[in-house]
Amino acid sequence: MSRRTSTHTASVPGSNAQPQLDDLLARLTHLVATIEADCAAAGIPVALPRQRAALYAAMDALGGWINAFLVAGPAEAEVQAARERITGLIRPWSATGPFFDRSFGKLRGYPGDFETIEIIYNCRPCGADLRARIFDDYYLWTVAARAVRNRLAYLVGRLGEGVQAWAAQGVVPARVLSLGSGPGRELALLADTSVFSDVAAVTLLDLDTEALRFARSRINGRMNGRVTYLRGNALRFARGPDRPAQPFHIIYAAGLFDYLNADQARNLIEDCHGLLAPGGRLIIGNFCVDLPANERVLIEWLLEWYLLYRDEADYRRIFAGTSFNQARLRFEYEPLRGNVFAVVEK
């Protein structure tokens, strides 16, 4: 998969790499001190938003240095030394911020758990100290985090439109399957609308029992009782005992495919073809290669959070090995183009 050109690039000509990194880290340290002073003078609610662009630019420059450094083909020991310098400075600053704490700590055993996604949705920078709050704000206002929030609005719109289209054809309930459902916030929002709750029946499938429990508490008995919570592996669901006798009209996955390799993605898409009713729709969300490369490498280095970024060509190759008609495959984006959605009808 290709990588998007960095928004900031930095040449790393051999022996100059170390002085360049020294300068970037010194500038970042000075900027953080400046932001702290601004927070003390003007107050955190005023200072953090107005310093947000400056901090992002400084972090973007650092990500640009990392990418240029890696392209130069350094030895593994050099990579490790650079990584330790960068993470040794920034991780302690970030440590007590809720987003960093959950993402780096992987408190549920994997990155991107439902509580992490809820932190992104809530977007309330916190931390036990000021520097942690400054960096919590940074993480929550990256393109990736904003794209996740945009993804929520996209799903609410598409799911609402989709079940209404089926209801207009006399199909009630329209059956919806969420793969890797996580916190299910889009469904909790839709449950408040009669145009969805009166005509949809929803199945939430996730490996995490706590995620399902959280989603249940959010939906809280709405949807006229037409909600099923299943603990299970999406990669095995179509061949497992919990597979329902009736097909689904909409199947969607918000973030699951970010972690699946091409073969796993292809197999799951083929399973979804078998689970869909004729005319049913599959919606797959994935972080896109358009997400800034400098931000992506910082996510990997600072948080040890590794994702599979894809573009339209990647998905066309994946779908080519399935039963779906590629002529019915289209692509949609949230406004920042950080998430691409592959949409196809059976």
What is the pLDDT, as a whole number, of residue 40?
96
What is the pLDDT, as a whole number, of residue 10?
52
Q: Which residue has the tokens 């400054």?
A: 134
Ranges of each domain in the chain: 14-145, 151-291+305-345
Q: Report the C-alpha gap between 111 and 101 in whole angstroms.
A: 11
Q: Report the C-alpha gap between 134 and 132 in whole angstroms.
A: 5
| Contacts of 107 by beta carbon, 8 Å cutoff, 6+ apart | 101, 113, 115
pTM for the predicted model, two decimal places: 0.92
What is the pLDDT, as a whole number, of residue 223?
86
What is the pLDDT, as a whole number, of residue 17?
78
Fold of 151-291+305-345: Rossmann fold (3.40.50)
Taking the CA atoms of 3, 305, 68 and 31 in sequence, report the sign of the dihedral they define: positive
Strand duo 276-287 + 248-253: pairing: parallel
The 10 Å CB-count burial string (b at 16+, else e) for 64-100 is bbbbbbeeeebeeeeeeebeeebbeebeebbbbbbbb
What is the pLDDT, as a whole number, of residue 5?
41
What is the pLDDT, as a whole number, of residue 48?
97
Residue 267: closest CA among 241, 313, 235, 307: 235
Check if the beta carbon of residue 98 is closer than 8 Å to that of residue 124: no
Check if the beta carbon of residue 61 is closer than 8 Å to that of residue 53: no
Q: Which residue has the tokens 């972090």?
A: 59
What is the pLDDT, as a whole number, of residue 221?
79
Q: Report the C-alpha gap between 98 and 115 in whole angstroms.
A: 10
What is the pLDDT, as a whole number, of residue 15?
55
- What tens-digit pLDDT sequence spans the chain (346 residues)? 434 444 454 555 455 778 899 999 999 999 999 999 999 999 999 999 999 999 999 999 999 999 999 999 999 999 999 999 999 999 999 999 999 999 999 988 888 999 999 999 999 999 999 999 999 999 999 999 999 999 999 999 999 999 999 999 999 999 999 999 999 999 999 999 989 999 999 999 999 999 999 999 999 878 888 999 999 999 999 999 989 889 999 999 999 999 999 999 999 999 999 999 999 999 999 999 999 999 999 999 999 999 999 999 999 999 998 999 999 999 999 999 999 999 999 9
Is residue 296 helix, strand or coil?
A: helix
